Amino acid sequence: MKTRIRFLALAAVLCMLLAACSSNSASPAAPGNTGSGAGADPSPAADSPNPAAPTELDEIPSDVIDANLTCEISLGNYPADTAKAEEIAVVDGYIAIMKKQYPNVTVTPDYFSYTLDTYIGRALGGTAPTIFQPPFTDPPLLIQQGIAGDITEALEEIDLLKDFSPAYLEMLSDENGRIYGLPRDGYVMGLHLNLNLFEQAGLMNEDGTVQYPKTLQELAETGRIIKEKTGKAGLVFPASDTYGGWLFTNIAWNFGAVGDNAMQYQDENGKWIVNLTSDACVAALEYVKSLRWEYDILNADTTTSTWASCHTALGSGEAAMNIAADDSTAEPTAGAGLAVDKFALVPYPAGPAGAYALKGGTAYMFAPGITVDQGKAALAYLKIAGLLPYADDAAIAAMKAGAAGKRDRGAPVIPPVPAWNNEAFVQAQKDIAAEYSNVDIRLYEDYLNSLTDGSISLRGEEPIYTQDFYRELTGAVQLMIVREDSNARSALEKAQNNFQAYLDDQLGQ
């Protein structure tokens, strides 16, 4: 029942977006698609226009594997024109190997920064790239609406189904068991820190570790110290479009908006209920308001800031903290110029009623109408690039080349959040991250340990009409930031009534 209703809800979102494609609004899940995968962190061009590809690529066999496979594929995960040359060199190296192994497959770069509305336009117009990277919130919608390609036959030939997490397999399949995508990587929300500003504020320990906030209350207090000592924003917070509502939900969970106080739930009759006026949710919004009016730690352009601009603000030293995840550590470093030894990633701060952190991720999906041969070629490319769960010598060489490229362009090399149930592959990722590490792992280890030691609870996004829900919540967040006399309960009551009416109308409940 819940899955069926969710598909109907997502279908309605598609209809709404088709009617408003000119809005060009970004999805809050898009950060997962600007993370650690190939082509995922647009960065200023490197000083050297033509750096050599990592020597690790030489270890990948270039013998012909299939001279009969004949087709053309386009890579939506190719780096942007503004990406650092070191990153482009790695991906071009993978393409060169692909050309040798599959001489009759043409691989065309087609950088595509995914958002739902822009993808819909390209899919309906027949110009979607063969491989693209949506966040985990979108595959059910894309599959239900027939705008994603079926790669079942190609997958069956390479025996990857055993390595799928059951939850990911369900997310990327239709009701008939046909498969339309693969998990790229997961992410878990935490805090990015600019250690230059922590140092200026006297918040670094003598041993080089950082005095980071472990609770939301400490975040406010730490931010105030940094603002007073440096004049820079303690916390950069994007409260535009859907971003503000997206980040608010994690704050609300940690104030207790879970369980009986959940912001969305189904009653005994299966009706979806919106619940934004619990004391927990109200307290969370009052907390956000306090960051602006009591502690005064937010960036001045909060209501117009985007996910990308917040990474830039942290990397350029305009802000000390940013709520972000492990898959976007390249943005403030390689992308915005912050040295890797002046960056840290720490756990999401606990609240007065819990310690939750959002767990999401990014998928590889494929253009509608993809042929079996194109599916085989796309999977062959992902294998060459070390992006599928293999741990043979060629795959390890490919992963090492990717790690070397990150290191060379100044992005942190750390182990990713696993997306596959393949122990050898996951261990290889960890081993390669350790071998190519360019960071003081003490500045990451609390975050990495929190993923498995039970100190935080991982929680998925709110379940239904997620993007629209975030947009409604963003309005309430913005009101708190721009009006000192705003009332949190009243703002949430308005958002609750608006969104409940919307759900009732869309679902016919």
Confidence (pLDDT) at 111: 94
Give the pairing type, strands 233-236 and 457-459: unpaired
| Res 24 pLDDT > 90 | no
Can you tell me the mean pLDDT for 75-103?
94
Q: Distance (Å, rounded) from C-alpha 433 to C-alpha 446?
A: 16
**pLDDT of 56 higher than 60:** yes
Bigger pLDDT: 116 vs 410? 410
Q: What's the chain's average pLDDT?
A: 90
Domains of the chain: 2-186+362-437 (3.40.190.10), 188-359+457-507 (3.40.190.10)
Give the separation between CA 359 and CA 461, rounded to whole angstroms: 8
Residues 6+ apart with CB under 8 A from 43: 82, 83, 84, 87, 330, 334, 335, 409
- Give the SS3 label for residue 353: coil
17 has pLDDT over 60: no
Q: Which residue has the tokens 């509305």?
A: 117
Question: What is residue 355's DSSP assignment?
Answer: -
**CA distance between the termini of the chain:** 13
Query: Are 46 and 409 spatial neighbours (Cβ–Cβ below 8 Å)?
Result: yes
CA–CA distance, 371 with 364 (Å, rounded to integer): 16
Residue 223's nearest CA partner among 149, 296, 157 is 296
- Which pair of structure tokens corresponds to residue 438? 């360019």
Q: Are 324 and 199 spatial neighbours (Cβ–Cβ below 8 Å)?
A: no
Which residues have a Cβ under 8 Å from the Cβ of 248 and sit 6 or more positions away?
284, 285, 288, 473, 474, 476, 477
Question: For position 115, what pLDDT does the model report?
Answer: 84
Comparing 15 with 374, the larger pLDDT belongs to: 374
Q: pTM here? A: 0.86
Q: What is the mean pLDDT of residues 438-443?
A: 97
Q: Rounded CA gap, 34 and 185, in Å?
A: 11
pLDDT at residue 149 is higher than 50: yes
The pLDDT of residue 276 is 98
Facing residues of 233 across strands? 319
Question: And the tokens for 286?
Answer: 């009052």
Q: Please write the tens of the pLDDT for every residue from 224-259.
A: 999 999 999 999 999 999 999 999 999 999 999 999
Give pLDDT, residue 416: 92
Q: Over the range 139-169, which residues count as b (16 or more CB within 10 Å of their CB) and which as e?
A: bbbbbbbebbbbbbebbeeeebeebbeeebb
> pLDDT band for position 467 (50/70/90)?
confident
User: 346 to each of 35, 162, 191, how far by Cα in Å?
Assistant: 17, 33, 5
Are 41 and 330 contacting, i.e. CB atoms less than 8 angstroms apart?
yes
Q: What is the pLDDT of residue 50?
A: 64
Mean pLDDT of 369-388: 97
Shortest CA distance to 448 belongs to which of 413, 477, 423, 482? Answer: 413
CA 268 to chain centre: 33
pLDDT band at residue 415, thresholds of 50, 70 and 90? very high
pLDDT, tens digit (0-9, with 9 covering 90-100), for 251-301: 999 999 999 999 999 999 999 999 999 999 999 999 999 999 999 999 999
State residue 229 phi and psi, 5-degree precision: -85, -30
The secondary element (H helix, E strand) that includes residue 361 is strand 356-366
pLDDT at residue 144 tops 50: yes
CA–CA distance, 299 with 301 (Å, rounded to integer): 6
Task: Say if residue 9's pLDDT is above 80.
Answer: no
Q: Measured between alpha carbons, how far is 350 from 213 in angstroms, rounded to an integer?
A: 9
Confidence tier at 31 by pLDDT (50, 70, 90): very low
Q: Please report, rounded to a whole number, the percentage of residues in the chain having pLDDT higher than 90.
A: 81
| pLDDT at residue 84, as a whole number | 87
DSSP alpha helix (H) spans, 294-444? 307-315, 372-384, 393-409, 423-435
Q: Is 219 exposed, middle or buried (0-12, 13-18, 19+ CB in 10 A)?
A: buried
Q: Is 34 a residue whose pLDDT tops 70?
A: no
For tokens 């979806």, the residue is 272
**113 confidence band (pLDDT: 50, 70, 90):** confident
